[in-house]
């Protein structure tokens, strides 16, 4: 009798522990502001599942996507991956739950730029915006005008982008060569990591652009390198922030308790399996017979 009560108490304790554990897993980190950049939904090399996990783990008051949320070529296609749609669905769900979502259109967001200034409930589209925090104004723009691509360089970039897009279409027409074509598309279309000199030039140009606009703090994207720094422009200092890109760095900017921090995604925080640690299962050489052992029936014993 005592053992029975002990077993019942043990089961109830396990159920209570499981309930508390499930609730703790559903708890979200509350943030004041979350800023993402260069998500590029619709491309082959973006990380939609990782982004979905991250968005489900946070509860920000403001979610700001600073440039290139959706790849510009995706608007011409008739197909959109389900994984990428889940990210859009999560962003809309966050907006319905009270989070203010601001999409700041970047240099490649030609389609969304037509709707700049549009407000759809808690979803807002802007070409640039100003964020006021503790009496300090942050100028948010994907790419400063001084660092923009001009002339022949811009034309060559457009041609290269169109060429790689056509390679992707050809890969779908010829399945036999699809794998190699997609791989070549990835190697061509992925931008190389910027050098230290390029990052330094971009940050200096961003700081100068902020001074020109009348601000002492600027939040940019585009250059792919996450950074929080103070840059001297003459006798003045400009606070420079960059969330980096989600494509390669899986990084974001988070503002909470009056401080800015760079978030870096880690699979171990979400329990995602590491692809490099997967074990290949070997198929059995011979099929084994399965025998069911049971108690003999009384009628069978009599026989």
Confidence of residue 10 (pLDDT cuts 50, 70, 90): low
Q: Classify residue 242: in a domain, yes or no.
A: yes
Task: Supply the pLDDT for residue 181.
Answer: 38
Question: pLDDT tens digit string along 105-127?
Answer: 876 666 777 778 889 999 999 98
- Domain contains 302: no
Backbone φ and ψ for 133, nearest 5 degrees, come out as -135, 120
Task: Determine the structural domain holding residue 249 and report its residue range.
Answer: 28-281
* Top-confidence residue, 270 or 164: 270
Average pLDDT over residues 264-272: 81
* Distance set, CA 151 to CA 72, 139, 147, 156, 158 (Å): 20, 26, 13, 9, 11
What angle do the packed helices 48-56 and 82-96 form, to 10 degrees?
20
Which spans in 62-189 are helix H?
A: 82-96, 110-113, 151-173, 178-189
Q: How confident is the model at residue 269 (pLDDT cuts 50, 70, 90)?
A: confident
Mean pLDDT (whole number) for 93-99: 95
Mean pLDDT of 238-262: 93
For the cut 70, the answer to whether the pLDDT of residue 165 exceeds it is no
- What is residue 21's predicted lDDT score, i.e. its pLDDT? 42
- CATH of residue 234's domain is 3.60.21.10
Specify if 33 maps to a domain.
Answer: yes
Binning pLDDT at 50, 70 and 90, where does residue 146 land? low
Q: Does 246 score more than 60 pLDDT?
A: yes
For residues 259 and 247, what is the distance between their CA atoms, to the nearest angstrom? 25
For 32-65, what is each residue's pLDDT tens digit? Answer: 999 999 898 888 778 899 999 999 999 999 999 9
- For the cut 90, the answer to whether the pLDDT of residue 273 exceeds it is no
What's the mean pLDDT when you consider all of the chain? Answer: 75
List the one residue out of 294, 300, 44 whose CA is nearest residue 190.
44
Residue 1 lies in a domain: no
Q: Is the pLDDT of residue 168 over 90?
A: no
pLDDT class for 290, splitting at 50, 70, 90? very low
- Judge whether 9 lies within some domain: no
Closest C-alpha among 178, 224, 227, 188 to residue 207: 227
Q: Indicate if the pLDDT at residue 185 is higher than 50.
A: no
Mean of pLDDT values over 167-189: 46
11: in domain: no
- Give a yes or no: residue 293 inside a domain: no
Q: Are 145 and 220 in contact (CB under 8 A)?
A: no
Domains in the chain, number: 1
21 in a domain, yes or no?
no
Give dist(CA 92, CA 34) in Å, integer.
15
Retrieve residue 137's tokens.
């104004």
């Amino acid at each position: 009798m005592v053992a029975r009560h002990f077993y019942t108490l043990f089961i109830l304790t396990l159920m209570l522990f499981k309930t508390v554990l499930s609730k703790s897993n559903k708890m979200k980190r509350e943030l004041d502001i979350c800023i993402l950049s260069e998500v590029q939904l619709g491309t082959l090399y973006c990380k939609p599942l990782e982004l979905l996990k991250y968005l489900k783990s946070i509860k920000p008051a403001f979610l700001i996507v600073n440039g290139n949320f959706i790849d510009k070529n995706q608007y011409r296609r008739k197909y959109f991956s389900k994984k990428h749609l889940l990210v859009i669905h999560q962003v809309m769900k966050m907006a319905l739950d009270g989070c203010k979502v601001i999409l700041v259109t970047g240099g490649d967001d030609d389609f969304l730029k037509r709707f700049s200034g549009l407000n759809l409930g808690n979803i807002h589209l802007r070409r640039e915006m100003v964020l006021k925090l503790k009496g300090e104004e942050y100028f948010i723009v994907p790419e400063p005008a001084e660092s923009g691509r001009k002339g022949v360089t811009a034309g060559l970039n457009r041609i290269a982008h169109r060429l790689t897009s056509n390679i992707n279409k050809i890969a779908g027409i010829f399945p036999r060569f699809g794998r190699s074509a997609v791989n070549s598309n990835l190697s061509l279309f992925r931008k190389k990591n910027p050098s230290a000199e390029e990052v330094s030039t971009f940050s200096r140009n961003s700081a100068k652009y902020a001074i020109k606009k009348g601000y002492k703090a600027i939040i940019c994207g585009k250059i792919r390198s996450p950074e929080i720094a103070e840059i001297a422009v003459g006798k003045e200092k400009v606070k420079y922030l960059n969330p980096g890109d989600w494509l390669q760095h899986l990084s974001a900017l988070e503002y909470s308790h009056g401080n800015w921090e760079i978030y870096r995604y880690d699979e171990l925080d979400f329990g995602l399996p590491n692809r490099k640690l997967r074990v290949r299962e070997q198929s059995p050489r011979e099929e084994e017979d399965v025998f069911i052992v049971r108690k003999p029936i009384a009628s069978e014993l009599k026989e």
